[in-house]
C-alpha cells in the first residue's frame, strides 16, 4: 500500500491525553493474556472456525481453513499457481492466501507488471522481470509464494516448474471457485483489462481441461525432509561401519575406497529425485498414463489436493540400487492409494499400500521408480515367511539382512513427517548430487530440500 503524502513541515506526534477510565481500561487490556486466561486458546479457535464459516464458498480451500495444512505449509516451500480467466477471482484468492500466511507469504501478481492476458505466439519479454522477482523470493526461502496470472500457456508453466525444481519448491494449483469463473459474459464486465467476450473465449479452452501432473503424491515439508535426511544419513553411516555389513560388502564394491576403512555408502547413492522429497501415489504422466483421468476425478483426490497430512515412517532400507524410507499409510491415506500400485505381475497379491515409500537416493544409472520395486521385494520375502536375519540393534531400531545386499532397519519409534498432497509437474529427471567433499556430502545433498 502507498503511504499518504504529507506536505509542509513535519512535527513529532504527541500522544493524546487519556482519561482515567480509558487508562484503566488500557491497563486491564494489557493484563488480558493467554497466560493469565487459559480459556483463551479455545476462544481463539472458535473465532477462527466462525471466520471460516463466514468465508464465501469460493474461498473454501484446505490451505485457508485446515490448521494442520496451514502449519505444514508454513514449514514448507510452496508455489501456489493460480489459474483462471481474467475477472474470475484469482486476485481475491491471492489476497486471502496473503492474509492467512502474513509475513510467510509473497504474492506476485502479473497485473502489476502490465502484462495483458491473451493468446500469443511467444511469452512476452516482460516475464523476465516477473521471474527475476520470483527467483529473489526463492533465494530468500519464502515459505509461500503466490503466482497470480491466467497461466493458460504450457510454455509459461514449464518455466515456472523449472524454477520450482531448481529451488526445491512444491507446486499447488488453485483455481477460483466463483460461480462466474467460466461465464465470459460476466467476466467481460469484471476483468480489469476490458477484454471482450471473444478474447476471453479464445483463452477458455486451455483453462477448461484440468492440468494433470507427472505424478500425484505427498510432498514433505522442509523441516520434515531435514529430519528424514538426518535419519537416513545416520543409518548409512552406522551400517557402513558394521562388521556384518563389511562381510557382505561385495554387493557395494564401487563404494569401497580402502577395505581397511569405512565404506563410503554416502557417495554410493549419487542421484536424487528432482524437487521435493515425496511419497508418490499415482503416476499420471500429465494425463497420458492408464487410469490418470479416473484417479484425478476421485472425490478423495479432489478433496485432498493441497491438504496437509502426517505420514508415518516405519523403516529405512537399502539395496544395491536404492536407499529409501518405508511409509505406513493410515486408512484415510489409503483412500488416495491406487488399487494397482502394489502389483508388478498380475498374480501379485500384496497388502494395499505395500509400495508406499520415499526415495532418498539412487546408485549411478538407477531411476527413482526402482525404490518402490525394491521395497516390494522386501514385502514379498516377508509374505513368504522370510523376516530377514536379525543382525542386532543399531541407532533407532532393529537391523535385518535379507541377502543380496538388502538391508532394512525397522524403527523402534516411527518417524512422523508432515506433507502436502499435491502433484509434481516438472521434467522428472534425476539430478546429480552436488558434493563438495568425499565423506557425507553426497547423501546430504541428495536428500535435503
The catalytic site residues sit at 278, 357
End-to-end Cα spacing for the chain: 33
Q: What are phi and psi of 280, to 5 degrees?
A: -70, 140
Cell 503416476 locates to 283
DSSP tally for the chain: helices H, then strands E: 16, 14
Q: For residue 352, what are the contacts with CB-CB under 8 A and spacing of at least 6?
A: 334, 337, 339, 342
Strand 407-424 versus strand 308-318 pairing type: antiparallel
CA 83 vs CA 158, 177, 217, 327, 330: distances in Å: 14, 11, 21, 32, 32
Q: Look at residues 73, 170, 166 and name the one whose alpha carbon lies nearest to residue 424.
A: 170
> To the nearest 10°, the Cα dihedral for 233, 235, 241, 247?
-130
Tell me the sheet residues that pair with 312.
328, 416
- Between CA 318 and CA 388 the distance in angstroms is 13
**425, 171 contact by CB (below 8 A):** yes
DSSP character string of 199-239: HHHHHHHHHHS----SEEEEEE-HHHHHHHHHHHHHHHHHH
Computed over its alpha carbons, how large is the radius of gyration of the chain?
26
CA 334 vs CA 72, 311, 367: distances in Å: 20, 11, 25
**405, 252 contact by CB (below 8 A):** yes
Q: For residue 322, what are the contacts with CB-CB under 8 A and spacing of at least 6?
A: 269, 359, 361, 362, 363, 366, 368, 370, 371, 374
Strand 78-82 versus strand 271-272 pairing type: unpaired
Q: What are phi and psi of 171, to 5 degrees?
A: -115, 135
- Between CA 169 and CA 220 the distance in angstroms is 10
- Between CA 266 and CA 240 the distance in angstroms is 9
> Which secondary-structure segment (H or E) carries 99?
helix 90-101
Amino acid at each position: 500500500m502507498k503511504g499518504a503524502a504529507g506536505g509542509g513541515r513535519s512535527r513529532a506526534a504527541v500522544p493524546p491525553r487519556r482519561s482515567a477510565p480509558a487508562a484503566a481500561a488500557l491497563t486491564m487490556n494489557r493484563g488480558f493474556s493467554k497466560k493469565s486466561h487459559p480459556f483463551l486458546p479455545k476462544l481463539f479457535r472458535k473465532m477462527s472456525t466462525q471466520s471460516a464459516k463466514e468465508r464465501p464458498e469460493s474461498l473454501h480451500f484446505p490451505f485457508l481453513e485446515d490448521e494442520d495444512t496451514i502449519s505444514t505449509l508454513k514449514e514448507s516451500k510452496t508455489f501456489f499457481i493460480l489459474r483462471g480467466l481474467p475477472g474470475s477471482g484469482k486476485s481475491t484468492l491471492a489476497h486471502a492466501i496473503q492474509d492467512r500466511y502474513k509475513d510467510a507469504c509473497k504474492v506476485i501478481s502479473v497485473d502489476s507488471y502490465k502484462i495483458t492476458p491473451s493468446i500469443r505466439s511467444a511469452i512476452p519479454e516482460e516475464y523476465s522481470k516477473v521471474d527475476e522477482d520470483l527467483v529473489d523470493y526463492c533465494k530468500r526461502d519464502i515459505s509461500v509464494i503466490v503466482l497470480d496470472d491466467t497461466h493458460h500457456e504450457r510454455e509459461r508453466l514449464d518455466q515456472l516448474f523449472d524454477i520450482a525444481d531448481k529451488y526445491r519448491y512444491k507446486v499447488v494449483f488453485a483455481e477460483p471457485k466463483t460461480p462466474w469463473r467460466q461465464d465470459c459474459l460476466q467476466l467481460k464486465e469484471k476483468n480489469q483489462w476490458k477484454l471482450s467476450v471473444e478474447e476471453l473465449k479464445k483463452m477458455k479452452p486451455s483453462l477448461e481441461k484440468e492440468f494433470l501432473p507427472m505424478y500425484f503424491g505427498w510432498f514433505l515439508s522442509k523441516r520434515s525432509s531435514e529430519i528424514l535426511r538426518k535419519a537416513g544419513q545416520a543409518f548409512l553411516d552406522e551400517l557402513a561401519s558394521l562388521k556384518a555389513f563389511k562381510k557382505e560388502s561385495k554387493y557395494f564394491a564401487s563404494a569401497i575406497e580402502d577395505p581397511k576403512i569405512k565404506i563410503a555408502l554416502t557417495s554410493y547413492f549419487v542421484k536424487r529425485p528432482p524437487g521435493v522429497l515425496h511419497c508418490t501415489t499415482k503416476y499420471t504422466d500429465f494425463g497420458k498414463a492408464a487410469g490418470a483421468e479416473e484417479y484425478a476425478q476421485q472425490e478423495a483426490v479432489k478433496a485432498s489436493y493441497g491438504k496437509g497430512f502426517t505420514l508415518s515412517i516405519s523403516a529405512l532400507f537399502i539395496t544395491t540400487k536404492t536407499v529409501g524410507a518405508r511409509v505406513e499409510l493410515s486408512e484415510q491415506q489409503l483412500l488416495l492409494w491406487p488399487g494397482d500400485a502394489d502389483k508388478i505381475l498380475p498374480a501379485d497379491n500384496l497388502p494395499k499400500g505395500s509400495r508406499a515409500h520415499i526415495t532418498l537416493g539412487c546408485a549411478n544409472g538407477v531411476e527413482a521408480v526402482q525404490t518402490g520395486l525394491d521395497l516390494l521385494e522386501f514385502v514379498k520375502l516377508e509374505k513368504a515367511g522370510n523376516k530377514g536375519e536379525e543382525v542386532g540393534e543399531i541407532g533407532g531400531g532393529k537391523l535385518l539382512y535379507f541377502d543380496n545386499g538388502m538391508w532394512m532397519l525397522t524403527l523402534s519409534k516411527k518417524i512422523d513427517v508432515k506433507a502436502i498432497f499435491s502433484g509434481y509437474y516438472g521434467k522428472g529427471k534425476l539430478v546429480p548430487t552436488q558434493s563438495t567433499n568425499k565423506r557425507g556430502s553426497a547423501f546430504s545433498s541428495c536428500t535435503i530440500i
